[in-house]
Homo-oligomer: A and B are copies of this chain.
């Protein structure tokens, strides 16, 4: 039997050359013009400021989208999971940053195997267990990997708590066979009001500088300062950050669109194409895209996505139903009408799909299998 993921990829490929009116719904659609503009705009910014771009591939998990980012000038790709690293390495990506405190003998062996196979691997770590495990695994093949010491930038998630802790960990890591400290890393992902982003980033910068300087003073190399998220990406040059790894910028979504100075919602490359399947209940139109298609991730303002054109809010989702409230709608959709929805969160939305339709001017041009989907082990 054809497996589920392969079934979707085969079906989607049969739609190449057709218009969006002819494909089945729900489907995740990527506007290729907008995708390419988003890739180019981020790369232009990075190039203009001499910042190395390491896009986070968690957003798309797609070999083809990653290839576009690399072709535009990205130095390498960032991933979270070992399974993602394997998929992108197999696809020929030469340089990967694994930004997750990877734990487990099997995972360390798998990462070491990629190094032995030619991958230029950097890993961000915040503890010695993972460093020691990876070092042991690397020793068998004689390979080596760079390490970024991860620093907590206020998320209270991962990362060491102080420059002194960073120095202590850097000393232990640098002494381990097969590992060399290349720099530091952090994730400035604290959600602050728009007016407080710059002050927050100034604090991030101070922490990163203090940590970098302390490691250097200890006689350990600290060339790379890796940070950056989509919300703060255009302020990166105001800091000591030498490399950035935004993810969502490639598609944008309802959450991150406001971080785009010119484009906003018009720059969102990812939409869910859905069909109105019921108007039985007055004041409502129900679409065939629910939380298993759009993501259940919330937006602080409420609602589950922006319904383009119609204007009504997507007030509720069940697994396979989306509820459009027609009170604020510009039109009254009928059963069979199609709508497009900008999801709240592109990363978790894409993670629900086995493939994305790459569309230009309303016609399917290509298919992006979400090749690393589900590989969270």
Contact = CB atoms under 8 A, between A and B. Distances in A.
Smallest CB-CB A-B distances: 9 pairs: A5-B5, A354-B374, A158-B278, A101-B277, A80-B320, A24-B377, A126-B280, A129-B335, A103-B277
Interface in A339-377: 347-348, 351-354, 369-377
Contacts of A81: 320
Contacts of A281: 152, 156-159, 161
A347 to B, nearest CB: 6
What DSSP secondary structure best describes chain A's contact surface? loop
Number of copies: 2
Interface string A58-97: 1000000000000000000000110100010011000000
A6 B8 contact: no
A352 B377 contact: no
Nearest to A187: B318
For A286, A292, A296, A347, the residue with the greatest tally of chain B CB atoms inside 10 Å of its CB is: A292
Contacts of A129: 335-336
A8 B107 CA distance: 14
Contacts of A106: 24
A158 B280 contact: yes
Given A107-B24, A371-B4, A292 B376 contact: yes
Interface in A257-303: 275-282, 284, 286, 288-289, 291-293, 295-298
Interface string A162-175: 00010000000000
Interface string A304-343: 0000000000000011110100000000000110000000
A280 B5 contact: no
A375 B276 CA distance: 18
Given A25-B377, A103-B336, A278 B127 contact: yes
Given A81-B320, A374-B354, A348 B292 contact: yes
Nearest to A5: B5
Contacts of A80: 319-320
A297 B90 CA distance: 33
B374 A353 contact: yes
Interface in A220-264: none
